[in-house]
Amino acid sequence: MNDSLMKKNIYRIENFVKSQGLLFVLVVLFVGASLRYDVFRTVSNFTNILNQSSLIGILAIGMTFVILTEGIDLSVGSVTALSGVVAANLSHSIFLSIFISMLTGLILGLINGFVVAKSKIEPFIATLAMMMAARGLAFIATGNVSIRVQKLQPAFRALSRGYVLGVIPTSVIIFLIIFLIALLISKNTSFGRSVYAVGGNENASIMMGIKVDRVKIFVYAISGLLAGLVGALLASRLGTGQPEAAEGWELTAIAVTVIGGTKLSGGEGKFTGTLMGVLIIGIITNIMNLQGNLNSWWQNIIRGLILLVVIITQSRGKKRRK
């Protein structure tokens, strides 16, 4: 009887952590930071948190699609850098720069998808190769020199530096729109259901008639497309296309996605969780910046520790269910 009661309590705790754990962490961080730093409660600081987190958030949405299929995309940081270089070169036309940079990301994402789906190469290896190749192309295309955005193009500069209604950064609006689209796709389309099915059990998905290879190609294409968009936004924000830009962003996007509850084993996760993961990492980074006397490397240490705790928790939960 005691064992049965204990198992029920453990099950209830796990359900609470799954449904409310992220919200609880957000509330604790918010209250703690508000009590410790007066400036944290200001509108300008909230705007800054959202603005600084928006680009990683867009990458994390693409990463969520990939990880839900039990994949991984290590190339998004390099694809962002290459797309940013392309966008900076074409900054004389805002529409052309955005279109070509997103097309660049889409093509590289499709290559990742075809290699993973058709060649049956492990996603880690396939996207690691693309990570190195895309970064190399960025350096070759620029000669290891940053490409300046043309000063006479205010529309392109406003792409990531502008504000809607004078309050909300443009990049935050773009991030929220992409988040809502991803949420609708995951809940209301056959493709969204197929993504979860493929990650949950690939063999069963094949027996159900799901075109598994097509789903895998599409999720990597989405990840590449969003990385291309982030490249254009980053070039707009920095005022240059830098071949060394977005280094390590792929790891942050993975961390945000996993902290948000998406399991590396695939088939389980929510885009709302990814949004909360973005906010959690954004607030932690902001707290460390407000503290002022902490080395920036502590941000990576804390992200790593949080990620490790989440992965251990996921692993223990999986073993208990088995």
Is 27 within the bounds of a domain? no
The answer to whether 193 touches 184, Cβ cutoff 8 Å, is no
pLDDT score of 149:
83
**Structural domains counted in the chain:** 1
Is 230 within the bounds of a domain? yes
- What parts of the chain have a pLDDT lower than 70? 1-19, 151-152, 294-296, 314-322
pLDDT score of 165:
81
Measured CA to CA, the distance from residue 133 to residue 129 in angstroms comes to 6
Measured CA to CA, the distance from residue 81 to residue 139 in angstroms comes to 9
pLDDT score of 283:
95
Is 25 within the bounds of a domain? no
Is 75 within the bounds of a domain? yes
The answer to whether 246 touches 80, Cβ cutoff 8 Å, is yes
Is 76 within the bounds of a domain? yes
List pLDDT tens digits, range 126-147.
Answer: 999 999 999 999 999 999 899 9
Is 167 within the bounds of a domain? yes
pLDDT score of 1:
45
Is 154 within the bounds of a domain? yes
pLDDT score of 157:
79
How far, CA to CA in Å, does 264 sit from each of 51, 198, 279, 287? 27, 13, 20, 28
**Would you state the structure tokens that stand for residue 207, as one six-digit string?**
């027996």
Angle at 286 between CA 48 and CA 174, to 5 degrees: 35
Q: Which domain does 151 fall in, by range?
A: 38-311
250: domain CATH number is: 1.10.3470
pLDDT score of 13:
56
List pLDDT tens digits, range 210-225.
Answer: 999 999 999 999 999 9
Is 97 within the bounds of a domain? yes
Q: Which amino acid is at 179?
A: F
